[in-house]
A and B are shown apart, each in its own frame.
Chain A
Amino acid sequence: NAGVTQTPKFQVLKTGQSMTLQCAQDMNHNSMYWYRQDPGMGLRLIYYSASEGTTDKGEVPNGYNVSRLNKREFSLRLESAAPSQTSVYFCASSVVFGAYEQYFGPGTRLTVT
């Protein structure tokens, strides 16, 4: 059981470039989430998918898009990266939406220059 995996671990982009962060879970969880972590601000929810086939905006969705590819995979896309998107990105999953425990991946450290 790998739990929640994320790729890549590190990425450097130039302003305006695009990229997709990948997330997969092997726990048969229904719900998946994308967070960003910035110093002094905790984690903020970008988007979530309560169940396969649905996605919803979180607290800070601007500049991002998501795809729930299947039950296992939930990707986050930056169409035109900006320096303000420099952050550490975490994917998480839970058995069902509203379940108290979320399981987190190891994170992707993204720098936009």
Chain B
Amino acid sequence: GDSVTQMEGPVTLSEEAFLTINCTYTATGYPSLFWYVQYPGEGLQLLLKATKADDKGSNKGFEATYRKETTSFHLEKGSVQVSDSAVYFCALSQETSGSRLTFGEGTQLTVNP
């Protein structure tokens, strides 16, 4: 079945550092890919998405590019802030599985001032 693998956490960075969180997927078809973010004590929120190969999703300074050849959707941000501290989830969805979301394990990010 479909699956998503994220880099192991936790990740700790200093403010203004560059962020990469790796995400790779296994799927039989052509899924849509997502990054969700969970701030402390809250539910998940959609951060960005890409629905086809080579699409780039972006929001709040975060970016991720759908790479079909490497089955990857790595999350990047050029300069992180303390307020970016959260858990980040990579996820996929495709019509052959009823468009249900399949999540990765989540990566805890802590940004220190």
Contacts and interface: CB of A to CB of B under 8 A. Distances in A.
A, B assembled together = yes
Interface stretch (B13-21, B62-70, B74-82, B92-100): B92-100
Given A45-B101, A103-B43, A106-B43, 7 more contacts: A42-B4, A42-B89, A42-B105, A58-B100, A100-B32, A100-B99, A102-B46
A89 to B, nearest CB: 11
Nearest to B93: A100
Chain A interface size, as a band, is: 20 to 34
Interface string A16-60: 000000000000000000000000111111001000000000100
B103 interface: yes
Interface of B: 4, 32, 34, 41-46, 49, 51, 89, 93, 95, 98-101, 103-106
Nearest to B105: A42
B43 A4 contact: yes
15 contacts: A41-B105, A42-B105, A43-B101, A45-B100, A90-B43, A98-B95, A100-B32, A100-B34, A100-B46, A101-B46, A101-B49, A102-B46, A102-B101, A104-B43, A104-B44
Contacts of A40: 105
A97 interface: yes
Contacts of B105: 40-42
Contacts of A107: 42-43
Given A42-B106, A104-B43, A97 B101 contact: no
B41 A100 contact: no
Contacts of A90: 43-44
Given A43-B44, A105-B43, A100 B100 contact: no
A105 B44 CA distance: 8
A43 B89 contact: yes
Contacts of B103: 42-44
A98 B26 CA distance: 19
Nearest to B6: A42
A98 B31 CA distance: 12
A100 B51 contact: yes
Nearest to A45: B100
B74 to A, nearest CB: 17
